[in-house]
Amino acid sequence: MNPHPFVKRPLVACVFVLVALSSAAVPAFASILGRTDGFPDIPTTGIKIDYDAVTDVFSAVGVSMKIDMDSSPVDPAIGRPTTSTKNWTLNAKIDENQHVVANSGGLTITGSVTSLGITSTAATLLSGTLIDFGIVSSGPTSGEFEFIFKKDAGGALNSYYGDFFGVKLHAPLGLMSSANTPGWSFQDALLTQSFKTKLGPGPLYVPTYASADTRNIVPEPASLILWSCMSAGLIAFKRRISRQR
């Protein structure tokens, strides 16, 4: 019984798999939701969101108080100069088509983590430059803003993160217009209206805040298969050349 042609030609088989996986793989950095995210995770609460549709400026500030390392039984605490200090800051420009304006901003997380030997509350723990953005809707008044950042150099937690990290910014209770009336909907395809988190006054618009997770992005299984396939193909090619000599 003759073996399948792919068995006789491993290089051809690898090329076939490479092409198939490339066409099926998630586009690079399309959104954190479409990629594999992992630990560490820096949860952030009390986030105020503000988007100006005229200037395209998207800003958000909140409080990060711990690092979820997953394998650690106790999450390392993040210290701040004062209890009112906002140590999680995101600034960027995003146009109405949800496109990131190049080199327009990024994310910075500051604080001390004494259990990891980081003693200054002014230390930059992690920072990155925004390279992609997307929106996932859970309905008109709830959803997620998703961000992909390229890690900057110099962060005290850099050794725990890869070259890229992502943020899922959750706004589960809707957003208000600049006039504090019901505003932009998560089901709107375009960012043509300014919005912010609900800050009052009035019984219908009591203060509400968003939350976020700043997570490491790990290699996708498909990417690992692609690299393995390429390596196998190269080895097979070298063996074939050796036999022909």
Distance from C-alpha of 231 to C-alpha of 18, rounded to nearest angstrom: 11
Q: DSSP class of residue 219?
A: P
Residue 150's alpha-carbon distances to 70, 107, 147, 165, in angstroms, are: 23, 10, 10, 7
Mean pLDDT of the chain, nearest integer: 76
The amino acid at 224:
L
Look at residue 149 and tell me whether its pLDDT is greater than 70: yes
pLDDT per residue as tens digits for the range 74-116: 899 999 999 999 999 999 999 999 999 987 889 999 999 999 9
Look at residue 11 and tell me whether its pLDDT is greater than 70: no
Pairing of strands 106-110, 88-93: antiparallel
Question: What are the structure tokens assigned to 153, written together?
Answer: 């150099």
Any idea what the Cα angle at residue 34 is, between residues 16 and 190, rounded to 5°? 120
Residue 94's alpha-carbon distances to 60, 74, 100, 203, 212, in angstroms, are: 13, 37, 5, 32, 18
3-state secondary structure of 36: coil
**Quick check: 59 and 47 in contact, CB under 8 A?**
no
Q: Which residue would you say has higher pLDDT here, 121 or 198?
A: 121
Residue with tokens 């193909």: 233
Predicted pLDDT at 22: 38
Q: Mean pLDDT over residues 26-31, rounded?
A: 37
* 0.85 exceeded by pTM: no
Pairing of strands 124-139, 142-151: antiparallel
pLDDT per residue as tens digits for the range 216-236: 987 654 443 444 454 455 455
3-state secondary structure of 75: coil
Predicted pLDDT at 138: 73
Question: What are the structure tokens assigned to 126, written together?
Answer: 């992690």
Total length of the chain: 245
Q: Which one, of 147, 143, 131, 130, lies nearest residue 184 by Cα? A: 143
